Amino acid sequence: MERLTRVVGPIATNVHVLADPRSKEAIAIDTATPCLAWIVDELAAREWTLKLIVSTHGHWDHIGDNAAVADHTGAPIAVHPLDRERLTNPQPIGAPFAIPPSVPAVELAEGGEIRFGDIRLSVLHTPGHTEGSVCLLAPDDGVLYSGDTLFAGGWGRVDLPGGDAAQMVESLGRLVTLDDPIRVLPGHGPATTIGRERAWMDLVRSGGRLFA
């Protein structure tokens, strides 16, 4: 797998483009504003074809360029159905600019799989930050794209629309069962590994609650 990452927007969102070098098929994860020009340039430079746009959840800082990238590339948009309305009727609380609506054509579901070329990503439904938050696990590459569920040193906020502390505890308890070497690429901030985060994640799981 080839991967490009760019930090964009006022909340420094990590945008990923993944590609299979053999087929030159690619997907984009969390097309935040402004990433359209960067994605278009990178696709053209590498002769990649974008096959899918994946939103790990529906908050404005992850979906702002969904419609623009979809219109330019023809790639469909995928999101968990519980976050679908956040894309079709965005409520950009606190956003410094308007967020155009986008129409998902693909539903992400627990246990589902995204395939492009020789690459596969397993869909993990991990609510807590929003009802429809998902993580994408690339088992062959040992990488977890964790959206805003798991960060280096912490978890996604549960006090925003769609947040639920009890669900976040369950989701973190699930992720801590992954192997230590799994590399975690979150929606914001630096990469980490499950092993680096294990100590506090085990405390959350054993205690059954988030801690200050």
Q: CA 95, CA 144: separation in Å to the nearest integer?
A: 27
Whether residue 130 is contained in a domain is answered as yes
- Domain residues for the domain of 33 are 2-207
Structural domain includes residue 83: yes
* pLDDT of 92: 82
| 49 within some domain | yes
168 belongs to a structural domain: yes
- Mean pLDDT in the chain? 97
pLDDT band at 94 (very low <50, low <70, confident <90, very high): confident
What pLDDT is attached to residue 201?
98
Q: How confident is the model at residue 73 (pLDDT cuts 50, 70, 90)?
A: very high
> For 47-60, what is each residue's pLDDT tens digit?
999 999 999 999 99
Provide the domain count of the chain.
Answer: 1
- Over the stretch 14-36, which tens digit does the pLDDT of each residue have? 999 999 999 999 999 999 999 99
Residue 212 lies in a domain: no
Q: Where is 199: in which H helix or E strand?
A: helix 194-207
Q: Which positions ≥6 away from 71 have C-beta within 8 Å?
A: none
In this structure, what CATH number is given to the domain that contains residue 118? 3.60.15.10
Position 105 in a domain: yes
* Average pLDDT score over residue span 93-118: 94
